[in-house]
Structures are given as structure tokens and as C-alpha cells.
Amino acid sequence: MASTDTTTAGKGTDKADDLAGLEAGLDALDAVQVNRTPVREVLLHKVLPPLAAVALVLVAWQLLVWAEVTEDYKLPAPSAVWDSVSDMWLKGTLFEVIWTSVSRGLLGFLLALAIGTPLGLVVARVKFVRAAIGPILSGLQSLPSVAWVPPAVIWLGLNDKMMFAVILLGAVPSIANGLVSGVDQVPPLFLRAGRTLGATGLKGAWHIVMPAALPGYVAGLKQGWAFSWRSLMAAEIIASSPDLGLGLGQLLENGRNNADMPGVFLAIVLILIVGIAIDLLIFSPLERWVLRSRGLLVRS
Amino acid sequence: MATAIAKAEDRVSVEHEYAARLGHVSKSFNGPAGPQLVLDDITLDVAPGEFVTLLGASGCGKSTLLNLVAGLDRPTAGSIETPGGRPALMFQEHALFPWLTAGKNIELALKLRGVPKGARRQEAERLLELVRLGGAFRKRVHELSGGMRQRVAMARALAQDSRLLLMDEPFAALDAITRDVLHDELTRIWRETNVSVLFVTHNVREAVRLAQRVVLLSSRPGRVAREWTVDIDQPRRIEDTAVAELSVEITEELRGEIRRHGQH
């Protein structure tokens, strides 16, 4: 970019040309170089370590089984868990079970998003509302969402509505709080700059406050998803009924009832994998994109 | 879209006799020991197309005064008129929005001014060309150097198409070489666009290098202490003898103002 400007400076006769050339030179000297990490390095530094950790856990597990530290109905071998997976795979129920929970979780999360976002904005911007419900909202975050399952069952019965209610009560405070802290951290300079440009009121909220608060908001979403997923699993484990369809939580509870330890292990592993996968596929890329586009992501 | 020069000339016919008029402006803030007077009875005109620097030591209320003229705060007493619409304001920090590219920062200013969607891109490109950053449209703020950021900030301020540009020590955080270049750049843009500039600084040389008129403010409270008209041909250099001589005279006066505060 800068090098094209220097051709005009090459003539060097006019004073204006001289300034342009000087400036192009300064720009070229000062310009910040932004490089992207090559794929090989990503594989080596980001993918390999967690895979090695998982392998290590599997090896330790197998060693414990071989050492016969406890009866095999308490600690099944990794191969027994693997057999459970392939069994479910062959019966064609594996993805059905996962999808039942994931679709509930994501739908509940989207609902929480739709409620938590305006709520967070109002709490952040309206002093009275903030004083009134701000502390309650942050307090709710420390309340385990399992606590909501009994009242939700009584109020709404054993159905999907009750599951969504529990998810909302778990995730809405996280999302709203994330947005509130995001808004609180907007540098006052941006607000002043926005006001001089004419961005006041709703225009200011849309063009300045919301985008400036995005990093905090995304962090809130990430936490909101974790809370959604945890709440849903709690609800599925406690409230099982044939009408509800088989989700991962019920799979876990069924394993306990049938004294099927490989099934219990399988359910736990699947719950963990889904939680991590959604985070890796959706929220982490979103967060990285937001931070990188602002130059806030320092290469490690 | 007409060029900036043509637009400026169109406007002259309907221009007021001043770009900003401050009449007996005072401002006090509530401090721990009751109201504290920050600005006291400031009366000042900025003529259309004039370049005025406000010079003063710490605590003279320079930034407060600019905030008042920008409409970000209200004076306790007195009146402020800016007939050319809401003034544009540039800060010491570039204040560019990091979630937008350089070009989109300018487009946002155009959008908030009411420029129709179709015309924004071209106008933003033109403003970037004006600050000699054509081709930087897609650059992210963090990819630009300090000097480039201030030039984009200047383009964004100009995008408001205000007749008055307020500058709050915009070059104070830059290195000396870049600052020197941006002085030349600002002088060129000021002459091309015919915009009125009210420029706040604590740097005497910078004030003399840039301005047609230097206004010295006293500190605590800020009052107009003295004014100088700078009769040196532009483009000037900060090293020019004439600039140096006037700077010495103004610095003496400024030091006198500061000394008064140590005497009681």
C-alpha cells in the first residue's frame, strides 16, 4: 500500500509530493505486521497436547482395571464402554439420544439468549432496574440450577416445558450478567466519541454500546451455554418419564437403575463430549473472531 | 459528491460571521470543598476558516472548554454558539472504534450525519485520500500505526462535515517525527477544506507552528490571559526562526502565569 505512494515522491520536485513521500515512508516503517499461525503449528501446539492428555487418562484407566483395584461392576474396562457405544451405534439410537438432548439444550439456549440480552441491556443502562435486580441476577448465578427442578416439575409437570424453564433459570442470569459487565467495560472515550458523531440514545446503544460490549457479551454466552447444558442434564436425570424421550441425562439414570456401569460411563463421556464440542465448534471460534478482529488476541 | 473545496465555497455565502462564539462562559464543578470554578468568563470568537490554538498549563480547563463547545457538557454561565452545526471533535487518543475497519469508522460518521447508503463508500474513500490513506479502507485499527490512526480519526472528524473542528491535543501522544509530519498534514487539510479549527495544546511551539491566533489561558480558574496574532507565512516549519522567537515570548508569559500559582 505504502510502496505505491513512493513513486510520486520519486519526482521530488513539489513540496506536497515531498510530504506525501515522507508520510508513505513513515507509514511503511510504522505499519504493524499481522501474521496468522500456520496450520502445522496449530496442530502441534493446540491439538496434540489435549489428545495426549486423553490418551494418558485412557492408559491410566486400563492400568487400574488390569490391577483390579475394585470389582468390575464398579469400574468397567474402557473396552466395555466401547462395546456400549458400538451397541447403541448398531441399534441406531446413539445419535437419537444425543440429538434429543442437544436440540433441547440449543433451543433452550436460544430462548435464554432472547430473554437475557434485552434484560442485560436494561439492567446495564437503567439505574433503577440495576439497583433493584442487579444483585439478584448475579446471586442467581451461584444458585445451582438443580434447585429449580423440583418446583419446575410441580408447576409445569414432567414435560419439555419444564426442561426449558430449568435451562432458562440457569442460563439467563449468565447471559444478562455477561452483557452487563461488557457494557460496564466500554471505555468512556468511545461513548464520548459516539456522542460527538451524533450517536445518542438508541443509536448510541446500537452503534456504540452493543458492539463495544461484544467481548463481554460473548464471554457471557459461553458461560450461558455451559449453564444451559448443566441445567438440562440435571433436569433430565431427576425428571425421567417415558413421554420425555431418551436424552443423555435419562441414559445416565437408566444406567444406574440397571446397574449398567459401562452405560453410566458412556453417558458421562457423551455429556462431556457434547459440552466440549459445542464450545469448540460455536463459542470458541466466535470469541476468537471477536477478539482477533479487535487486535485483542495476542499470539501465544 | 462534490469535492471538499467546492463544498466549502458553496457554504461561504450562507456563512455566519463566526464559526464559534463564546460569550462570558463560566464553568464550575462540585468539588469536595464546594463548587470549584474551572473556567471564568471566557469570551472568544473563532472566525470562519480561522485556526485558533488554546494554550495553557495543566488545570487551565482547556479540555473542559472544548467539551463545552462540543456540546458534551453545559456551561454554568454564559453562552456558546456554533452556527455550523454540531462541531467535530478529535481527542488525544484516536478513539477509533476497534470493531470497525478504518473505512467503516468513517462510514459510521457519514451514516450518523444522514448521508445516504449509496454515497457513503465513495465519500469515505475520498476522505481517506484526503489524509493520504487511500487503500487503508479495509485496515483494522490495530493494524495501523499511531500516526495513521490519528489521520483516520481526522478523516472521521471531517466526515461530520462540520464547519468547526475541535482538537484536544490530538498529536500529544505521537513521536516527534510523526507529529511534525502531521502538523504539515493538518495545515494542508485546513487550507484545502477551509474548516475552522480550535486546537488545544500545552505545547507552545506547536501552537505557534499551526495557528493564526494563539490564545493563552491562565490556570485555576481558566481565563483568557493574552492573545497573539501569528503573522508568519504558511507553510511554516516548527524550526523556523520566526516561530522560535514568538514561542520564546509566549513561553515567558506562560511561565509568568504558572509562577503566580506558587506565590500563595
Tell me, what's the ipTM? 0.83
- Over residues A94-123, the mean pLDDT reads 92
What's the topology of domain A76-293?
MetI-like fold (1.10.3720)
Residue B234 scores a pLDDT above 60:
yes
What is the rounded average pLDDT for all residues in chain A?
85
**Total CB pairs under 8 A between chain A and B:** 98
CA B126 to chain centre: 21
pLDDT value, residue A296: 78
- pLDDT band at residue B12 using 50, 70 and 90 as cut-offs: very low
Residue A211 scores a pLDDT above 50:
yes
Residues of B in contact with A31 (CB under 8 A): 143-145, 148
B87 near A CB under 8 A: yes
Separation CA B173–CA B93 (nearest Å): 8
What is the rounded average pLDDT for all residues in chain B?
86
Residues of A in contact with B103 (CB under 8 A): none
Residues of A in contact with B188 (CB under 8 A): 16, 19
- Over residues A152-181, the mean pLDDT reads 90
A50 DSSP assignment = H
Q: Compute and round to an integer the Cα radius of gyration of chain B.
A: 19
Q: Which residue in B204, B216, B217 sits closest to B246, CA to CA?
A: B204
Residue A165 scores a pLDDT above 50:
yes
pLDDT value, residue A218: 92
pLDDT value, residue A34: 63
Which of A27, A195, A212 is facing B145, going by the closest CB pair?
A27
Q: Which residue in B43, B62, B50 sits closest to B213, CA to CA?
A: B50
Residue B141 scores a pLDDT above 60:
yes
Verify whether the Cβ–Cβ distance B98 to A4 is below 8 Å: no
pLDDT value, residue A5: 44
pLDDT value, residue B124: 92
Which of residues 195 through 224 in chain A touch B, CB cutoff 8 A? Answer: 195-199, 203, 207-208, 211-212, 214
Separation CA A164–CA B56 (nearest Å): 62
Domains of chain B: 4-87+163-262 (3.40.50.300), 95-161 (no CATH)
Residue A3 scores a pLDDT above 60:
no
Measure in Å the smallest separation between the Cα of B184 and chain A Cα atoms.
8
Verify whether the Cβ–Cβ distance B99 to A212 is below 8 Å: yes
Verify whether the Cβ–Cβ distance B136 to A1 is below 8 Å: yes
The string over B84-113, giving b where at least 16 C-beta atoms fall within 10 Å of a residue's C-beta and e elsewhere, is bebbbbbbbbbbbbbbbbbbbbbbbbbbbb
pLDDT value, residue A202: 84
The string over A134-167, giving b where at least 16 C-beta atoms fall within 10 Å of a residue's C-beta and e elsewhere, is beebbebeeeebbebbeebbeeeeeeeebbbbbb
Q: Kindly report, residue by residue over A43-74, the tens digit of the pLDDT.
A: 888 888 989 999 999 999 999 988 888 887 88
Residues of A in contact with B135 (CB under 8 A): 1, 4
Residue B20 scores a pLDDT above 90:
no
Residue B150 scores a pLDDT above 80:
yes
A256 near B CB under 8 A: no
Can you tell me whether residue B182 is helix, strand or coil? helix
pLDDT value, residue A298: 61
Mutation choice for B interface testing from A8, A23, A190 by most B CBs within 10 A: A23
Verify whether the Cβ–Cβ distance A31 to B143 is below 8 Å: yes
Residues of B in contact with A207 (CB under 8 A): 108, 112
Can you tell me whether residue A17 is helix, strand or coil? helix
What are the grid coordinates assigned to B136, written together? 487503508
Verify whether the Cβ–Cβ distance A31 to B112 is below 8 Å: no
Separation CA A295–CA A244 (nearest Å): 46
Residue B200 scores a pLDDT above 90:
yes
Alpha helices (H) along chain A: 2-9, 15-30, 39-42, 48-66, 78-91, 94-125, 127-141, 149-156, 160-184, 188-197, 201-204, 210-212, 214-238, 248-257, 261-278, 284-293
A295 near B CB under 8 A: yes
A46 near B CB under 8 A: no
Q: Kindly report, residue by residue over B60-104, the tens digit of the pLDDT.
A: 788 889 989 988 889 999 899 888 788 999 988 889 999 999 999
Mutation choice for A interface testing from B110, B132, B175, B183 by most A CBs within 10 A: B132
In percent, the amount of chain B with pLDDT more than 70 equals: 94
- pLDDT band at residue A4 using 50, 70 and 90 as cut-offs: very low
